Amino acid sequence: MRARTVIRWRDPRAPITAAAAIGAAGFAMALAVGGPAPATGAIAGVTAALLAAVSLLVSAFRSGDQRHAAGARWLGAGAVVWSAGVGVRPIASASSFILSFADLLVLVGAVLMAGGAIIASGRRTTAKAALRYLVDAYLCTAALFLIGWVVALRQVYAESSPGFTFMLLPAMVCLLVTCATIPVVVKGTLSGLPLGLAGIGVLATTTIAETASAVARLGEGTPPTWSLMLAPVAFLLLAAAPWGMRRSGDERPASGPAVADLLALVPLALVAVSVVVLAAHLAGSRDRPVTGVVVVAASVVLILVLRLFVLATSHARLRGLVALGDRQLRELAESSGDVVLLCDYDGTVREIGEGVEVTYGYRPEEIVGGSIFDYIHPEDLPGIQIALRAMGLDEDTTEPGACLIACRVRAADGTWRPTESVATRHVGGEDVLLITTRDISDEEALRNQVVHLTFHDGVTGLPNRSYFEERTREVVAGRVSGQAAIFLDLDGFTSVNDSVGHASGDTLLGQAARRLRGVVRPEDTLARWGGDEFAVLVETGGEAQLAVDVAERLLRAVSQEPFRVADRDVALTASVGVAFAEEEMPAGDLLRNADVAMARAKDLGGRRVEVFAAQMHADAVRRLELAADLQRALIENQFAIEYQPVVDLATSRVTAVEALVRWWRGSTFVPPEQFLGPAEDTGLIVPLSEWILREACREVAAWRASSWDIGLSLNLSARQITAPRFVETVSQALEESGLPASALTLEVIEEMLVEDAEETISRLSELRALGVRLAIDDFGTGYASLAFLRQLPVDMIKIDPSFVSGLGRDETLTLLTRTIVRLGHDLGLIVVAEGIERPEQLEKLREMGCTRGQGFLVARPMAARGVDTLMRTSLQSAL
């Protein structure tokens, strides 16, 4: 079976099919009725026009596109007016007037439909463009009239009655309107194209029908039926056009630039054809020229002359604008400091601006006629010749091309100036190059300065860390044996900044850099790593001892004599670390190892050279891991406090407790000597000490509330003393716990009194003003104890366990201990002996008159619960 094609109502073909069916039925009905051709054409035209009007007005009501709706309304109104004119024409034709009212209605309808097609196209037309379209339409109309005159109209004119011109006027007006509408619609948007083309179809068929009707009326005959049926068919297509549009609102152009150029040539082509046809007619005819035809031909010539004049005027104006732009461009280039010149592809200079004398010192006449290649650096010349030759190869291309040229140009003083030039070809349509050249000497100097500052230190002038790291990667990648990295840190440099200021500190760093540069080999790299650290890369060498020797020279260069800063001598030492490159070792690992070795030298007291060993890195990793665990322990409350009693040696009564921190990492006990150092280095000792202070004050305050007169001793760290708001923290802890300030004793070691002495004594004095007692721990192990006993009002000294351990066994230690006890009594201080572990030590201390003591023999450190038991025992004994 053959498949059947079904057209659904929503299919775009449905409106067209329906319109065709209705139109065919209407035409068949008109023909079946019979009668003269004008009446038949009028019936068909009115039917089709009214159908189109209804379709257009309905689509305008339903459309959401305002432009489409407006165009449809204009087309619908034109169809209604046209149908009225066609409908009354059979009646009006009986009148004696040459042009009837019906003809005017047809013309008005045609104009309205032209306006609708233009509106639907969506093209916004300026007044100048509209005038051009009208002029082109007139040329097309006049040319077609002249061609038609030669082909057929002259015979009609010869045989017709008067009124030839008026009879053809409606047809010519319709033709003019049609020719004016076509370019606007074709250049419009894609969405308005169907409606616009359908409107043009109605206008074109109306023009044909009017022409045929006019010719028939002039010959007193009847127009052919086919000419009368064209307009109804076009109206049926117009009725279907709005319903067959799939996408309204598509703003893409309906045609490209090529079509627009072709449309612009159509009027001229028609005029040319009409001229040829008319000339051929006049050459073979002896008839007297008709006035109207002459007038039309003369008007065409006049319009063409006017258009030629307008084009010539526009051309002159454009040439003036081009010349003005060229002059302004040259003036702008000259004012900006660029040198502008014209040359051919062989480099011969044809013209050059005045700026060449200001920029390079040459007079223009010295350059013109010569070759630009004579002024370009020989190393840059080959590349520039290749670039200019490549621009000249494609001679057929008329489009301008440009290339950027960077080279060095010799100035009149003989110096080579870095320049940047832009060469543009086909300037002004000539086969020459326009070159604008700029002297970038200042920019190049600034760029070099930026590069230098990027990779060099501004204080010492040495390469900086970025340069050193990059250089290390390059050298290590070369796999040359004997490579080593040396790191050097100035010991005690922080105190220099604090005492004489950062400006003087920078001066000292500059002096240190000059000393270090003097002992480093030329083939090695010396850089400032940052702060008071320097780095040396031993790039070549065989024996490892060579790098160690360089490190020793660096150490001596720093330590051999004091630095002169701010009218004073500053003696410094250095800590130096050395690391050797190994096979397949990354540059980052080499630098890290040298830094670890330097840190090891600093931990051992400074003024020494340490060579990296594997265990150093392992120790550093362990310290990092320990620091991370410490931070986690603070968050998870893994710390606990134990209290070691301090007793009165005469009565064995507990007078105070010393708070000691303990760390249980899970079920593992971590000794204090393993984590207090890393806590001090990382700064975690500050929050840890604050937590100990608050907890211990709270516990001791609770014991004192139970009628037990007991004090609290706490050790202070250097970081804790220098921490911001340290004194406020102590005051707040006392206030929150209710512990009297006199019950709190804070202990410092002698080394803390020596380092940063002014700030330490200031902070301790503020604590003393609160009523807090102060004690010097490990007394006797420092070298400035007696001096600071005079400056700082302390209440207690604690004898170091190293003295107590020798009591009864070492006469010297016994004598020193006796001296410390006597000194404390003479100064009115409480003397506490630490580390009492044997009975004979206790007896000796009682004999010497030492007032208080602590140690394993007296009482071991215990938790708060153990202190509670001890408290109850002491209270019962007292009762």
Neighbours of 651 (CB within 10 A): 8
Beta bridge partners, 749, equal: 777
Lowest mean pLDDT segment, chosen from 31-40, 360-369, 428-437, 607-616: 31-40
Q: Is the pLDDT of residue 801 over 70?
A: yes
Q: Alpha-carbon distance 313 to 323, whole Å?
A: 15
- Residues 554 and 576: beta-carbon distance below 8 Å: yes
The pLDDT-based confidence of 527 (bands split at 50, 70, 90) is very high
Better-scored residue on pLDDT, 284 or 853: 853
Write the CA distances from 473 to 371, 383, 477, 485, 583, integer angstroms. 47, 33, 6, 12, 14
Q: Alpha-carbon distance 119 to 739, whole Å?
A: 95
Q: Alpha-carbon distance 653 to 626, whole Å?
A: 39
Residue 262 pLDDT: 76
Neighbours of 833 (CB within 10 A): 29
Lowest mean pLDDT segment, chosen from 92-106, 351-365, 656-670, 766-780: 92-106
Residue 832 pLDDT: 92
pLDDT in tens, 509-523: 999 999 999 999 888
Q: What integer is the mean pLDDT of 615-628? A: 70
Please list, in sequence order, all residues whose beta carbon lies within 8 angstroms of the beta carbon of residue 755, skipping any fewer than 6 positions away.
Answer: 718
Q: Is the pLDDT of residue 426 over 80?
A: no
Average pLDDT, the chain: 80
Write the CA distances from 763 to 690, 717, 727, 743, 760, integer angstroms. 16, 13, 7, 19, 5
Work out whether strand 830-834 and strand 796-799 pair parallel, antiparallel, or are unpaired: parallel
CA dihedral 195, 200, 203, 204 (to 10 degrees): -140
Neighbours of 738 (CB within 10 A): 12
- Does residue 659 sit in helix, strand or coil? strand
Q: Alpha-carbon distance 878 to 709, whole Å?
A: 12
Written as six digits, the tokens of 466 are: 């970025």
Q: Is the pLDDT of residue 441 over 80?
A: yes
- Residues 510 and 460: beta-carbon distance below 8 Å: yes
Residue 4 pLDDT: 47
Sheet holding 339-343, edge to edge: 349-352, 339-343, 433-439, 416-425, 402-410
The pLDDT-based confidence of 22 (bands split at 50, 70, 90) is low
Q: What integer is the mean pLDDT of 844-862? A: 89
Q: Is the pLDDT of residue 879 over 60?
A: no
Q: What is the DSSP secondary-structure string of 689-740?
A: HHHHHHHHHHHHHHHHHTT---EEEEE--HHHHHSTTHHHHHHHHHHHHT--
Query: Where do we find the tokens 């070809």?
Result: 425
Residue 875 pLDDT: 47
Better-scored residue on pLDDT, 646 or 118: 646
**131: nearest Cα among 303, 338, 322, 348:** 303
Lowest mean pLDDT segment, chosen from 493-497, 597-601, 710-714: 493-497
Q: Is the pLDDT of residue 9 over 50?
A: no
Question: How many residues does the structure list for the chain?
Answer: 879
The pLDDT-based confidence of 495 (bands split at 50, 70, 90) is confident
Highest mean pLDDT among 129-133, 306-310, 405-409, 539-543: 405-409
Work out whether strand 484-491 and strand 525-530 pair parallel, antiparallel, or are unpaired: unpaired
Query: In 527-586, where does DSSP find H-type helix?
Result: 544-559
Give me the helix-helix angle, 441-455 and 465-477, nearest 10°. Answer: 80
- Does residue 563 sit in helix, strand or coil? strand
pLDDT in tens, 350-368: 888 888 888 888 998 888 8
Q: Alpha-carbon distance 300 to 319, whole Å?
A: 28
Highest mean pLDDT among 431-435, 728-732, 776-780: 728-732
- pTM for the whole structure: 0.44
Q: Is the pLDDT of residue 734 over 80?
A: yes
Better-scored residue on pLDDT, 135 or 153: 135
Beta bridge partners, 645, equal: 657
Residue 680 pLDDT: 81
Written as six digits, the tokens of 246 are: 């799939």
- Residues 646 and 625: beta-carbon distance below 8 Å: no
Q: Alpha-carbon distance 691 to 504, whole Å?
A: 40
Residue 152 pLDDT: 73
pLDDT in tens, 249-286: 556 666 666 676 677 788 888 878 877 877 777 776 66
- Does residue 643 sit in helix, strand or coil? strand
Beta bridge partners, 577, equal: 487, 610
Neighbour-count burial for 131-148, b at 16+ CB within 10 Å, e otherwise: ebbebbbbbbbbbbbbbb
- Does residue 88 sit in helix, strand or coil? helix
Lowest mean pLDDT segment, chosen from 457-471, 589-603, 756-770: 756-770
Q: Alpha-carbon distance 730 to 711, whole Å?
A: 15
Highest mean pLDDT among 114-123, 296-305, 311-320, 361-370: 361-370
Write the CA distances from 178 to 100, 181, 183, 788, integer angstroms. 22, 5, 10, 114
Query: Where do we find the tokens 């410094």?
Result: 572
Residue 5 pLDDT: 45
Q: Alpha-carbon distance 137 to 185, whole Å?
A: 14
Beta bridge partners, 2, equal: none
Please list, in sequence order, all residues whose beta carbon lies within 8 angstroms of the beta carbon of residue 446, skipping any fewer than 6 positions away.
Answer: none
- Residues 76 and 56: beta-carbon distance below 8 Å: yes
Written as six digits, the tokens of 173 are: 């007006």
**742: nearest Cα among 704, 789, 687, 691:** 704
Q: Alpha-carbon distance 245 to 241, whole Å?
A: 7
- Residues 78 and 198: beta-carbon distance below 8 Å: no
Q: Is the pLDDT of residue 56 over 70?
A: yes
Q: Alpha-carbon distance 417 to 415, whole Å?
A: 6
Q: What integer is the mean pLDDT of 307-329? A: 79
- Residues 424 and 400: beta-carbon distance below 8 Å: yes
Q: What integer is the mean pLDDT of 41-57? A: 82
Work out whether strand 433-439 and strand 339-343 pair parallel, antiparallel, or are unpaired: antiparallel
Q: Alpha-carbon distance 473 to 585, whole Å?
A: 10
Q: Is the pLDDT of residue 55 over 70?
A: yes
The pLDDT-based confidence of 7 (bands split at 50, 70, 90) is very low
Lowest mean pLDDT segment, chosen from 82-96, 412-426, 553-567, 778-792: 778-792
Better-scored residue on pLDDT, 261 or 869: 869
Q: Is 124 left (phi over 0), alpha (psi -120 to 50) or beta?
A: beta
The pLDDT-based confidence of 463 (bands split at 50, 70, 90) is very high
Beta bridge partners, 123, equal: none
As a whole-number percent, the residues of the chain with pLDDT over 70 amount to: 82
Q: What is the DSSP secondary-structure string of 649-669?
A: TTT--EEEEEEEEEEEETTEE
Query: In 336-380, where does DSSP find H-type helix?
Result: 355-360, 364-367
Residue 169 pLDDT: 77
Give me the helix-helix angle, 685-705 and 726-737, nearest 10°. Answer: 30
Work out whether strand 416-425 and strand 339-343 pair parallel, antiparallel, or are unpaired: unpaired
Q: Is the pLDDT of residue 489 over 90?
A: yes
Q: Alpha-carbon distance 675 to 625, whole Å?
A: 11
Please list, in sequence order, all residues whose beta carbon lies within 8 angstroms of the beta carbon of residue 183, skipping any fewer than 6 positions away.
Answer: 133, 136, 263
275 by Cβ neighbours in 10 Å (0-12 / 13-18 / 19+) ranks as middle
775 by Cβ neighbours in 10 Å (0-12 / 13-18 / 19+) ranks as buried
Residue 312 identity (one-letter amino acid)? A
Residue 252 pLDDT: 64
Q: Alpha-carbon distance 853 to 655, whole Å?
A: 10
